[in-house]
Structure 1
Amino acid sequence: MKNHKKGFKTSYIWRILLFSFFLTLSAPVFSQSLYEIEFSASGVKYKGFLVYFNEEDAYMRIAYTYNDVYNVVNIDYTSTSGQEDGYNYFVMKGENPKFITSNSGSRVDRRSYNPDHFVWVWDEQTKGEMPFVTDDPNFSEESLKRVDSYKELKVSELTDEYLHRFYWDNEKEYLAFQNMRDNELDSHVAQEHYDNNTTQQQNQEANYGAAKMHLVMLVNSSIGDIGASCETDSRNMTKEFEDIAAALKVDFRKYEVKGSSFTKDNAMRVLNGLNPGSNDIVVFYYSGHGFRWADQTDAYPQMDIRASPYTKLSAETTLSVSSVYNLLDKKGARLNIVITDCCNSDIGINKMTETSFLAGRSYQTPHIEKLQKLFLATKGNMIVTSSSAGQVSWSNSVNGGFFTLSFLQAFHEEISYLKTQEPSWENILKKSHANTVNKTDTGCRNCTTQNPVFYTKISKR
């Protein structure tokens, strides 16, 4: 059906890309991002609607007309990304084609549909160029072709007419997109007419009581080797929890120890001075160096709180993750969340790599009720660190820690309108673990395996 796409001569970097692709297979990162891709082949025009959660969870509905018959096929996608010789690449590999429409009367052989694969290659000079498309699983040069268009979609563009191009009325995905769109529109109307949506806040407090969110950020942004990566983590996580607090209409308080103030004394001053209410939420996040003492049995690492490697490593410059967890547990907040992104190996240097991931610029409207269930309708404690005993944690300056990125992916997926299961922190942590393993095992050729460790004791109120 699409066996006659015209190609073009590819460069040396493209051949490197294909070699890298077949060595790795699977890895980058958006978060419930929606995209439209249009391409042509053999006189047939194709329109694709891409729903991307993470590197192992994405699908595309591709619509086209052939012999006057309208067809829609669903294709699953896994992805890989990386960097070679200054070029970045991102490959989406299609598989498991399944027709959504009935093709009775069509001469199209439903079993013969070749999944389409999409490839982006760019450097500083070629940012923004359209991706390539091919249905050749061997990626032959003559099969490669630029797509006609590629764009990220806004929720407001998901009209019923648009969705009907890809979904039946009774499909759960169709209903989920309608719900997402209508709730976003209702939210905008409420913002305009109800004084910053005080109605939601009043109803919420009637159901759950007034709550505050306390965010403690301990970030080694000044250290020479991983400082840029830690700063990326700090920016991403701060923005995430600020947005969550705003969406939930709860008071937000941030306590930050980073840069020139990055010392154990300052960290302990913040932690000891924290005085949450019995209905409050406390989130502790650390990004920096981590290690294990030679005789350590605790599964969670030591945080290395030194802004310079020339400072002596001692009890005055280290703090155990478990001690922070225990300290916060005694503070009496309703929900405590401890997240750390650092090595959990013998004293050494955190691992940096040039491998980068395509970080999503945005994710679609979160389901407020799911946020409420995670943050307001629960009680208990959670602790997670980015790697198991003896393992290092990987990062890069562009995306930050691979675990932090994986955690945000998993969280966004869990609060999506498109996921119908009951949201839970256990699901988020399990998915964060899977995403992290995938990035280090298949998305990064020079990385060693990284298995996050976590414990949850969170229940409904």
Structure 2
Amino acid sequence: MKKILTIIFICCFYLSIAQNFYEIKWQGTDGIKYIALVEFFEKENINVRVNYTTKDGAYKVAKYKCVGKYNYNSDGSKFFMFDGQNAEIVYSSKESNVGYSADNFVFKGVNINNQYDKLYTYDDADLADGNLDNVKEATFKKLDPSKDFTKSYINSFFWTSEPEYIKYTKLISTNQTTSSSTTSSSSSGETFYRLKFKNKCIKPIKVAIRYLDFKDKWGSKGWWTIEPGKTVYVENSPNSIFYYYAKTLDGSLVWSDKDNLRDFDGKKYGFRKLEKSTSKYGSWVTDITCTNLVNDQSTSTTSTTTTSSYTNQYTGEVKLHLIIAADSNDPQIGASVRQDLDDVSNLFQKAAREVGIKYEISKLYDTSFDKASIIAKINSLDIKNNDVVIFYYSGHGYNDTSGYSRFPSMSLDGKDYGLESMHNFIKGKNARLTITLGDLCNSIPRTRSGTKSDEEIPFKSGFLFDEDKLERLFIDSRGSLLSTSSSKGEWSFCMRKSNGSMGNGHFTNAFINSFAKEASKINDNIGSWDQLFSRAYTDAKNNTKYQLNQNGKYGQSGFKSSDIKYN
């Protein structure tokens, strides 16, 4: 029988579940060797492809979905499993009527650190006769697309025309050509530039470059076709000088320099000089804008690369200021809040490093968890007009139902402060983008609140961030957004870890997962704050749908006020 744990506190905490790939291998009782490629993004939607060769030499590929969940043995011990459902054969090298039954993967011996001792696999038919000899032991490893993926490996699971093949091979080309970039973008020791071009013209363009490679040799490379509004990453170089030549596909506009002619692709082209004005390494985006559109039938002309009115208004390098206020000393939720400090910092630090912008993280907890300290810290920050400011609150909150504000007040040490008032105060610093979010109750004060257990699962990972989507979130956006985890008259609920200790706040858990989805390389999301938050609210609502709230409704319903626009 499944155990139900009761949580009796209000908190804000999350578990980071981001996109990962895993490989599982096992040998069936018939001697056939199976290899499964598992795409894991969320426990409710695990995609599996399995390839194998039958005894008569037929190469087959099956696909199905799994749901991740905990189950319990008769002795009360717990195991985690991928429950496979509705398998189908998608490829067979020979005519065959033999189908495939979806396998289940069982992770045994899961400890308090969410590690496991053994992995087994079976299908439902294996257990039909109660013969446990049909359960096979399997091996399991996490895959790094930059090292483990090849076109042939992906093709062993997917047709070349399938969307997954196309997406995964893009990961290969990106990671293989930018492996040093990917590694260094997560390190403060990055010592090279990543050149990108963004097409702000209304016509498709193609670009060629001259650059200094890591062997100290100059070379030319091209062509990259860039659709309107899109950004293309082209090359790394340790040198702060690049040259480029660009033209529209119809030849009506050309970006060139007649004084710097170089041979490339059998012709001479005038390459235009790009020089980085600072020594800051990382991503370097050059905007190509049609400033003087001409008739398609006219002769080619030289145009200038300029910035839009948006980038003229917001000038200078981008910096992310993350301010976290967390009630780490609270007797009920202090342990989970302290974990919040690390987890939220880790998320935005990774994102900032990946997109190549500076960042500063300010943590206000313990003796600095009060209004005066928070205000003083924000006033001390050197916030420029092109910066991003994110304020995150983790702790208790309340709202007088007779009050006018839909947003709650933060229960700080000493004098409290409204979340909306904090947001308006930070907006007064005139940053390009201001986001305030809180995981707190929005109800009449109550010390305790119960919630159904939703335990951590034994899969944590990093993020497969798409730099273009991160750029849209952090560089191409402007305005403000204020978010709260629950509506007026509602509590915000908390999760439990599998070892019985405090766990994740449902909204923050949903927010982190939604951020990973919105900025992932492996989906069609565009990088939208509104979509990111809307998805998080839906997930948090679904995960608390059995919890009766103060207002008599079930679940917590977060909401936001936003005027964010995109360049």
What band does the TM-score fall into relative to the shorter chain? Answer: 0.7 to 0.9
- In 1, the alpha carbon distance for the partners of 2:125 and 2:557 equals 31
TM-score by length of 1: 0.81
Task: Give the equivalent residue in structure 1 for 2:22.
Answer: 35
Q: 1:197 aligns to what?
A: 192
Deviation, 1:30, is 2.8
Percent pairwise identity? 24
Gaps of 5+ in 2: 6-14, 196-281, 288-306, 548-553
Tell me how far 1:81 sits from its aligned partner.
4.2
Q: Is the 8 A contact 1:82 1:357 kept in 2?
A: no
Gaps of 5+ in 1: 1-14, 21-27, 307-315
Deviation at 1:244, TM superposition (A): 1.6
Q: Aligned residues, how many?
A: 424
C-alpha contact 2:408 2:418 (8 A) present in aligned 1: yes
- Rounded to whole Å, the distance in 1 between the matches of 2:126 and 2:97 is 26
Pairing 1:341–2:439 present: yes
SS of the equivalent of 1:100 reads strand
- Matching residue of 1:385: 484
- Aligned-pair distance for 1:98? 3.4
By how many angstroms is 1:103 displaced? 6.4
More helix by share: 1
Corresponding residue for residue 61 of structure 2: 72
Does 1:404 pair with 2:508?
Answer: yes
Which of 439, 443, 454 is the aligned partner of 2:543?
439
**Which whole-Å CA distance do the structure 2 matches of 1:198 and 1:126 have between them?**
39
Give deviations 1:40-60, integer Å, cap 9, x for gaps.
434133221111111333211
Distance 1:455 1:351 in 2: 26
Secondary structure at 1:305 match in 2? coil
Aligned residue runs from structure 1 range 32-181, under 5 A: 32-43=19-30, 44-66=32-54, 67-81=56-70, 89-102=79-92, 105-109=95-99, 113-121=100-108, 122-124=110-112, 127-136=115-124, 142=131, 145-155=135-145, 156-181=147-172
SS of residue in 2 equivalent to 1:392 = coil
Contact 1:245 1:251 in 2 (8 A): yes
Partner of 1:413: 517
Q: Equivalents in 1 of 2:542, 2:456: separation in Å?
A: 12
**After superposition, what is the alpha-carbon deviation per residue over 1:166-198, rounded to whole angstroms, capped at 9, x for unaligned?**
112222212222222332333333578x96233
- C-alpha deviation, 1:349, in angstroms: 2.7
**For the residues of structure 1 that align with 2:42 and 2:88, how far apart are their CA atoms?**
21
| Contact 1:216/1:255, CA 8 A, preserved across alignment | yes
1:95 is paired with a residue whose SS is strand
Q: Within 2, Cα distance between the matches of 1:137 and 1:271?
A: 62
Deviation track 1:238-269 (CA, whole Å, cap 9, x = no partner) reads 01111222222222112221112211221222
Matched, 1:458 2:448: no
- CA separation of 1:394 and 1:82: change in aligned 2, threshold 3 A: farther
- The residue type paired with residue 64 of structure 2 is I
Give the CA deviation at 1:235: 0.6
Equivalent of 1:422 in 526, 540, 543: 526
Distance 1:137 1:256, change over 3 A: farther
Render the CA deviation track for 1:18-69: whole Å, top value 9, x for unaligned.
x99xxxxxxx973101111223434133221111111333211111223421
Q: Match for 1:344: what amino acid?
A: N
1:200-239 alignment runs, 5 A limit: 200=195, 201=282, 203-204=284-285, 209-239=316-346
1:327 is paired with a residue of what secondary structure?
helix
Q: What letter is aligned with 2:101?
A: N
* Residue of structure 2 equivalent to 1:260: 367
Contact 1:88 / 1:123 at 8 angstroms: preserved in 2?
A: no
The alpha carbon displacement at 1:436 in A equals 1.9
Distance 2:63 2:112 in 1: 34
> Which residue number corresponds to residue 267 of structure 2?
none
Residue 363 (str. 1) matches residue 462 (str. 2): yes
Structure-1 separation of matches of 2:321 and 2:112: 39
- 1:240 aligned partner: 347
Given that 2:322 and 2:391 are in contact with CA atoms closer than 8 Å, whether structure 1 keeps it comes out as yes
User: 1:282 Cα shift?
Assistant: 0.5
Q: Secondary structure at the match of 2:91?
A: coil
Distance in 2, matches of 1:263 and 1:252, equals 23
Q: 1:16 to 1:289 in 2, by over 3 A?
A: same
Equivalent AA in structure 2 for residue 154 of structure 1: D
- Give 1:350 shift: 5.1
CA contact (8 A) 1:339 1:385 kept: yes
> What is the aligned counterpart of 1:376 among 457, 475, 488?
475
Q: Give the SS at the match of 1:101.
A: strand
Change (3 A) 1:205 1:114: same
3-state SS of 2:378 partner: helix
In structure 2, relative to structure 1, the CA distance for the partners of 1:275 and 1:406 (3 Å cut) is: same
Give the 3-state SS of the residue equivalent to 2:171 in structure 1: helix
- Rg (Cα) greater in structure: 2
Report the CA distance shift for 1:410/1:137 in structure 2 as closer, same or farther (over 3 A). Answer: farther
Cα deviation, residue 375, structure 1: 0.8
User: Using the alignment, how far apart are the partners of 2:431 and 2:477 within structure 1?
Assistant: 11
- The question of whether the paired residues in 1 share the 8 Å contact of 2:389 and 2:434 is answered with yes
1:330 aligns with 2:330: no
CA deviation after TM superposition for structure 1 residue 205, in Å: 7.2
Q: Normalized per residue, which structure has more strand? A: 2
How far off is 1:438 after superposition?
A: 3.6
- The AA in structure 1 aligned to 2:408 is P
Counterpart contact for 2:40–2:46, Cα < 8 Å: yes
Q: Is the 2:333–2:502 contact (alpha carbons within 8 Å) kept by the matching residues of 1?
A: no
CA distance in 2, matches of 1:116, 1:459: 46
Report the TM-score when normalising by structure 2: 0.67
Distance 1:404 1:430 in 2: 13
- The worse-fitting range, judged by mean Cα deviation, of 121-130 and 265-274 is 121-130
2:19–2:464 contact (8 Å) kept in structure 1: no
8 Å contact kept, 1:34–1:49: yes
| Residues 54-108 of structure 1 deviation map (CA, whole Å, 9 limit, x = unaligned) | 1333211111223421111221233334899985543333334333214651131
| C-alpha deviation, 1:328, in angstroms | 2.1
SS in 1 for 2:352: helix
Cα distance in 2, alignment partners of residues 87 and 262 from structure 1: 41
> Does the residue aligned with 2:153 lie in a helix, a strand or coil?
helix
Shift in CA distance, 195/215, structure 1 to aligned 2, threshold 3 Å: closer
Contact 2:283 2:355 (C-alpha < 8 Å) held by counterparts:
no
Question: Partner amino acid for 2:323?
Answer: V
Equivalent positions of 1:270-289 (< 5 A) are: 270-289=377-396
Relative to structure 1, the CA distance from residue 402 to residue 89 in structure 2 (aligned partners, 3 Å threshold; closer, same or farther) is farther
Aligned residue in 2 for 1:449? 555
SS of aligned partner of 1:185: helix
How far apart are the structure 2 equivalents of 1:227 and 1:146? 43
Q: Which secondary structure state, in structure 2, belongs to the residue aligned with residue 39 of structure 1? A: strand
Q: Report the secondary structure of 1:204's partner residue.
A: strand
Alpha-carbon distance in 1 for matches of 2:558, 2:192 = 38
What is the identity, as a one-letter code, of the residue corresponding to 1:134? Answer: Y
